[in-house]
Every structure is written in C-alpha cells, then in structure tokens.
Amino acid sequence: MTKIAVLGNGRVGGTLATALTRAGHQVTVADSTPGAAAAAARTARIVINATPGSDSLDRLAALREELRGKILVDVSNATVDGSDGLPASLIYPDSSLAEHLQEALPETSVVKTLNTMLFSVMTAPDTLSQAPDAFLSGEDPQAKQTVRDLLKDLGWNEEWITDLGGIETARATEAAILFVPHVIRTSGFTPFAISIAR
C-alpha cells in the first residue's frame, strides 16, 4: 500500500483515485479548496497531477516544499482549447509541461505518463481491441520503476509500458494530444489510446 495524493477531482483524477483505491492504495483527492493540495501532497509518497495542464505549472510550483523528495506523476497536457472546447494548440510548443515542472521542482522526481489516451483507458487498458501503450518520461530510473509498478496496479501489462527516456521525451507524447480532437470529431468519445504498432 502506498500513500497517493491525486491533485484534481475531475474525470481524470476521479477515475484514477477510484482505481488506485480499489488496488489497495491509500488515496487522498485534493479539490480546489484552498490548502487542500498542500495538505494532500504533504503526507503522500506519490502525487498525481490531474489538474488542467493550462495552469498546472503555477499550482505545482507553489507546492515546492510539499513535493520535495516525492514522485510527481504528471498525466496532464498543457493546451489552448479551440472554440469547441477541444485542444487546438500547445502551450509549450518547444518544450513540455513535464519539463517545466521538473525545472520548477528540482528536488521532485517528475514522471510523465498516461497522457496519450482518453481518460477511461488509463484504468481499463484491456477494454481496447488492440494492446495500447503507456509511455514513461523522466530522469529518475527508480521513480520510473515505481510508476511502472503503479501502472500495473491499474491493469497495464509490462509489455504495454514503454520507457522513452529522459523528461525531454515528454514533449513528444504531449504533442500527441493534437491528434485527440480530430479522433473525437470522427469517432466521438469512444475509448482510444495512441499506440506504436510493432
């Protein structure tokens, strides 16, 4: 059992919190109440960023002390939405949210994952007709192994998890979010993940 704090109580945060609790972890969900995120992060070993990517950097940079020595699992994408509410462009086109988080939180191990799929697939990858991929980006091998084990608790098979390398590789997976609005417009909100065919 691991103490986990989920920052953000929307569809992504709620789905992850429910699945991780079911897997036997002690999970605290922080909503937007002042002080809730700091209180949750302070007592957790792993913190999951499920806040809107557009303001994640400011929110998490304010938690530098609470996140010191912790693993920060970043599942968000920093985008500018179009008129239909779907992602239209990247906030950090020459970098990534994950890289900015790692720079702002040098004593925290940031691991990017689960940001290349519809939220429902994060905790039910076996519901797709083909094996999906979950990608890992981060500087700390031990932190990535911990997150790999967490993904297994969420139903991900070992062979579905791909370590892309350092935190700079997150800019590739974050850019993949630009596929999402086009897929949704053609297929609706049917669960899907961006995967590598081998």
- The pLDDT score that the predictor gives to residue 148 is 98
136 located within any domain: yes
Reported as a single tens digit per residue, the pLDDT across 114-124 is 999 999 999 99
Per the structure, how many domains does the chain have? 1
Q: Which residues does 105 contact at the CB level (< 8 Å), separation at least 6? A: 60, 61, 64, 67, 72
What sign has the CA pseudo-torsion 168, 143, 141, 135? negative
Band of pLDDT at residue 21, cut at 50, 70 and 90: very high
Q: Report how far apart, in Å, the C-alpha atoms of 7 and of each of 14, 74, 102, 127 are.
A: 10, 10, 17, 26
| pLDDT above 90: residue 96 | yes
197 located within any domain: no
196 located within any domain: no
Parallel/antiparallel/unpaired status of strands 87-90 and 79-81: antiparallel
- Report the CATH number that the domain containing residue 105 is assigned in CATH: 3.40.50.720
Reported as a single tens digit per residue, the pLDDT across 30-88 is 987 889 999 999 999 999 999 999 999 999 999 999 999 999 999 999 999 888 888 99
pTM (two decimals): 0.96
Reported as a single tens digit per residue, the pLDDT across 187-197 is 888 999 999 88
- The pLDDT score that the predictor gives to residue 121 is 96
Reported as a single tens digit per residue, the pLDDT across 123-141 is 999 999 999 999 999 999 9
Q: Where are the beta strands (DSSP E) in the chain?
A: 3-7, 26-30, 46-49, 71-74, 79-81, 87-90, 109-112, 134-138, 161-165
Q: Which amino acid is at 40?
A: A
Q: Which amino acid is at 185?
A: R
User: Structural domain of residue 67, as residue ranges?
Assistant: 3-187
56 located within any domain: yes
| pLDDT above 90: residue 94 | yes
Element of type H or E holding 45: none
